[in-house]
Amino acid sequence: MARQLAHLSDEALVLLAARSEESALAELYDRYGRTAYGLALRVVRDPGLAEDAVQEAFLAVWRNAARFVPEQGRASAWILTLVHRRAVDAVRREQRRRADSLERAPEPSVEGVEEDAWLRFQRERVQAALRHLPDAQREALELAYYGGFSQSELAERLGQPLGTIKSRMFGGLSRLRELLGEPGTEVTWTSTT
């Protein structure tokens, strides 16, 4: 089927999904499903669990679309946050991972992965920004976001005080935000009280 909704913004698609428009969910999946799967796979390191995480997340988008508030951030960030949360939940449930040391399994190789040009550009941009961070900040962000480790686990495993881990994560994210050059001063959380 042609992508008849391809001209709509992500936010407009979420609004349509809130009205039970299935083609809007399909379009959102076509835009972010691959990134979502790559993210989930990176975190859980298991194709079956990654599929489950992506499925649960997109169904959460479907069920929760009416609650999405554009002022709280981009729709893509909302979707990928849902995916990430489920992937982290899955990896924390996997007790066997607890036995692993911080020695990370090798990153999935880009060899043999056919990427479209836009995804490759995005990936290289984020990876370049990460390389610009001080090592300690990059390590904290990567282990937390891609590794699914909690701040307490990181403090213990890296042998650092919790406060140090917190400031590395905060400093790293703030710097990354500058590096990615995101506009966002106008992005504010709408108070609902």
Contacts of other proteins in 130-169 (CB under 8 A): 130, 141, 144-146, 148-152, 154, 163, 166, 169
Considering beta carbons, is residue 11 or 73 the nearer one to other proteins?
Answer: 73
What own/partner pairs with CB < 8 Å and gap ≥ 24 does 12-15 have?
Answer: 13/75, 14/61, 14/65, 14/68, 14/75, 14/78, 15/65, 15/68
Region for residue 183 given its phi and psi (left: phi exceeds 0; alpha: psi -120 to 50; beta: otherwise): beta
Q: Which stretch binds other proteins (CB under 8 A): 4-12, 95-103, 170-178?
A: 170-178
* Cα gap 52→40, rounded to integer Å: 9
Which residues in the 78-97 window bind other proteins by CB under 8 A? 78, 80-86, 88-89, 93
* Interface with other proteins, residue 70, by CB under 8 A: no
Q: Which is nearer to other proteins, 12 or 73 (CB)?
A: 73
Cβ proximity to other proteins: between 8 and 51 the closer is: 51
181 burial level (CB within 10 Å; 0-12, 13-18, 19+): exposed
The only residue of 11, 37, 139, 160 in contact with other proteins, by rule CB under 8 A: 37
Size of the residue set binding other proteins (CB under 8 A): 91
Quick one: tokens of 174?
């703030």
Smallest gap, in angstroms, from Cβ of residue 53 to other proteins?
10
What is the Cα–Cα distance from 19 to 27, expressed in whole angstroms? 14
DSSP state letter for 110: S
Out of 8, 11, 12, 29, which residue is the one contacting other proteins (CB under 8 A)? 29
